[in-house]
Amino acid sequence: MDNEVILTGPEAGVATLRIHRPDARNALNQNVRRLLAAHFTALGQDEETRCIVLTGGEQYFVAGADLRDLAECSAIDMHLRNVHLLWRAIAECPKPVIAAVNGYALGGGCELAMHADIIVAGENASFGQPEIRVGIMPGAGGTQRLARAIGKFQAMKMLLTGLPISGKEAFSMGLASEVVEDGKVQERAAELAKIIANMPPLAARQIKEVLLAGQDAPLDTALMLERKAFHLLFGSHDQREGMRAFLEKRKPVYTGR
């Protein structure tokens, strides 16, 4: 069961996590959620890892939750699973995360993609929250993250109808960072990950932390968080290295110190 999530790397600062349940179109079961949580926790603490690519491969990202794992559960069963703690491990990962989305990203798959910081989508990817069609609703941030990404009216349409949108539509709505040809999704995600991995990791970490902490805070509070983090980075070796390298017209070498 450990091969349902495959870790590659880190290589040159980039770690890749691939969900591998081809017979179930990568549908999320409890084992996959546990494995993802364990990997994200470990990679978040790994000094060699500077960026994480999350993918399901070239055919599909995640087709949703595995209903065989849920159909007979009671409310108490669901409560005792504490699944929110497994999702939290992904949401709280301090490293930048890129979701490379080919094919289906439905239900829990769409929610998983929205836990990333950057989404690279194939033109024919399929994003959706179809939970209403089986008598439930999103339970891992689908209502809240979706509304924050694309606004109330588009989110309501997707949530209440269960209808999916394509990668092109997701990009136009603001649900994806980039849309590329289906065959170039993995390559483009890897390219972006390499760019980020070559950036100063302390600055990357502070950017992610401040953006996420400030997006739901009052503007004055968010600006204060940004200002404090900006000042803090002037105590780093990477700040001195970056500015000296610029003035000396050479490539900087960032160490995360």
Active site residue 131: yes
Q: In what order do the strands lie in the sheet with 104-106?
A: 104-106, 126-128, 165-166
Question: Which DSSP category does 217 fall into?
Answer: S
Catalytic residue among 9, 13, 107, 108: 108
Core vs surface per residue 226-236: b (16+ CB within 10 A) or e: beebeeebeeb
Question: Which DSSP category does 28 fall into?
Answer: B
Q: Is 62 helix (H, G, I), strand (E, B) or coil?
A: strand
Neighbours of 154 (CB within 10 A): 18
Catalytic residue among 24, 37, 63, 65: 65
Active site residue 47: no
Catalytic residue among 4, 111, 123, 169: 111
Active site residue 65: yes
Handedness of CA 221, 225, 230, 231 (dihedral sign): positive
Catalytic residue among 107, 109, 121, 131: 131
Active site residue 42: no
Q: How far is CA 68 from CA 28, 72, 133, 197, in A?
A: 10, 8, 16, 38
> How would you class 166 by CB atoms within 10 Å of its CB: exposed for 0-12, middle for 13-18, buried for 19 or more?
middle
Residues annotated as catalytic are 65, 108, 111, 131
